[in-house]
Structure 1
Amino acid sequence: MTSPDWEVYAIKYADRNARTRADSFIFDDNHDAPHAMDYFMWLIRGQGRVILVDTGYDSAEAAARDRPIRLDPGAALAPFGLTPEDVTEIIVTHLHYDHAGGLHLFPNATLHLQAAEMAYATGPCMCHDTLRMPFTAGHICEAIQRLYAGKVTFYDGDAQIADGVTVHCIGGHSRGLQAVRVRTQAGWMVLASDAAHFYENVAAEKPFPIVVDLQDMLDGFATLRRLASRPQLIVPGHDPLVRTYFDTAMASHIHRLDVGPVRDFAM
């Protein structure tokens, strides 16, 4: 018997519209043109399990960085009938503030994390202001507290979280950045997180400016293509086009991904 497929949802909680293409691509001739960014979490459910992918960040972090959120990450799950306390599993793609800034909101969750990411976020690379900038110390401390509570599962590269849900260490943007591959009714889908902020990163092999290892980032684009059944099932981490390509479900901030895009598009 074939195991059932998973449902996958993109949950938008924030956006930043006062950006240019220079903020999104290292090499771009049209660098002054506007280029908006959305902020997402993702939810995977099936086989009696609910797995949250990343947590967003809260209002305190929003104020500290002057990057307002539209929805509290915990409240954003309400249309699923979930409270933050109901979440028992979180795949943390990496520990940057916008992906792990809400860990404290989900007190009962065990974290799935690459060992390389914890080592990076707590190691000598953080002596450099530029590399430290996307991290917030309190978020890292929360991950360490979860570790000492026995609620972190570490991986070293590719690993299976559940039947039909796997993680794949890509690096590039952050040392232990992992993408999530999910078996869906539309085929194998890849939640790229920040292995590809935008569709254009992959389609044109254009790197994002925040990077610790440029070769890993570029190699990662090919990895995303290899993992997905087709390029249109690569879901970038911050692209507003996700909301154009996939149908709204349950609420205006939620888009269902596992049924596939509503129309084909070039990749």
Structure 2
Amino acid sequence: MTAVYELFALRYATREARRGEHFIGGDPHDGPMPMDYFVWVARNADRAVVIDIGFTAESGGKRGRKLERCPIDSLALLGVDPATVRDVILTHMHYDHVGNFDKFPKARFHLQEPEMHYAVGRYMRHKQLAKSFEPDDVCGMVRLNFDGRVVYHNGAAEVADGINVVPTGGHSAGLQFVKVNTKRGVVVLASDVTHFYENMDTQRPFTVALHVGDMLEAFDTLRAHAASAELIVPGHDPQVMRRYPPPSSELDGIVVRLDVPPAQ
């Protein structure tokens, strides 16, 4: 029998933004459209797997982003000790997804191999592409690779029983989304395959792009891997915090459960 997980989204930062920042080609109704930042946790009695690890105060501060809480210290709210986590999935290596690797002393980091090639390769000479990466994070992952703690995948793979990754590229060369088996079915954590529900729903990709065609195709890939649209969870949409319930009243506005259906 496939393992079943509780699944949580933990919001660690938010920022004010405009609609025109989130769609290639802009938006005719350029009003406010805030962006949230999340890390995700899948846990059961056997393990806790952390999916993406957020940005640091330093790397976020350079970009005008402010932490509301350290995402890794906040794992304690879910009973997860980063010192005991064995597997961390990195959907890609942009600064807001890989910034706290040093807080996981025992973990292996699961990454699509093309993402590492991209982050250290020729395209980083272009400021438009390089701005989404933090050199210290990239160098840190290189060092972890020398320590044997980076697990490279080249295509779809099983990270643990009931947890799988599927690559799409587009937004970044080695972007991958994550499928987690829960009591409501297999939840598809899109990460930056679709930042907002609206990116996918209107077929308008986000503005940070390596390959726009791959981004458009990735929307179809997400749908193909989800039994229904409500099982897809976007990577930065504040709607996630409104659609899903907190695990307790104390965590309202900080953590929501994704292993239960969204509010209708």
**Would you say same fold, with TM above 0.5?**
yes
Q: Where does residue 182 of structure 1 map in the other structure?
A: 180
After TM superposition, the score normalised by the length of structure 2 is 0.95
Cα-to-partner distance string for 1:158-192 (whole Å, 9 max, x where unaligned): 11112211100011100000000111111121000
**One-letter code aligned to 1:112:** H
Using the TM superposition, give the Cα deviation of residue 47 of structure 1 relative to its aligned residue in structure 2, in angstroms. Answer: 5.3
**One-letter code aligned to 2:109:** L
Partners of 2:96 and 2:242 lie apart in 1 by 22
Farther off after superposition, 188-197 or 242-251: 242-251
Q: Where does residue 15 of structure 1 map in the other structure?
A: 14
Q: Where does residue 126 of structure 1 map in the other structure?
A: 124
Partners of 2:50 and 2:38 lie apart in 1 by 11
Cα-to-partner distance string for 1:116-163 (whole Å, 9 max, x where unaligned): 100000100111111100000000011111111110110001111122
Q: Where does residue 154 of structure 2 map in the other structure?
A: 156
Residue aligned with 2:171, SS: coil
Q: Where does residue 205 of structure 2 map in the other structure?
A: 207
Cα-to-partner distance string for 1:55-109 (whole Å, 9 max, x where unaligned): 0012122222221110012221111222321222100000000000111222221
Residues 170, 195 of structure 1: 8 Å contact kept: yes
Partners of 2:183 and 2:83 lie apart in 1 by 29
Structure 1: stretches of 5+ with no match in the other structure: none
Q: Where does residue 75 of structure 1 map in the other structure?
A: 73
Residues 180, 192 of structure 1: 8 Å contact kept: yes
Q: Where does residue 261 of structure 2 map in the other structure?
A: 260
Q: Where does residue 88 of structure 1 map in the other structure?
A: 86
Q: Where does residue 105 of structure 1 map in the other structure?
A: 103
Partners of 2:117 and 2:3 lie apart in 1 by 35
After TM superposition, the score normalised by the length of structure 1 is 0.94
Farther off after superposition, 47-56 or 169-178: 47-56
Q: Percent identity?
A: 41
**One-letter code aligned to 2:161:** D
Residue aligned with 2:207, SS: coil
Structure 2: stretches of 5+ with no match in the other structure: none
Residues 180, 190 of structure 1: 8 Å contact kept: yes
Task: Give RMSD over aligned pairs.
Answer: 1.2
Q: Where does residue 38 of structure 1 map in the other structure?
A: 36
Q: Where does residue 6 of structure 1 map in the other structure?
A: 5
Would you say how many aligned residue pairs link Structure 1 and Structure 2? Answer: 261
Partners of 2:29 and 2:84 lie apart in 1 by 43
Q: Where does residue 243 of structure 1 map in the other structure?
A: 241
Residue aligned with 2:136, SS: helix
Partners of 1:64 and 1:25 lie apart in 2 by 23
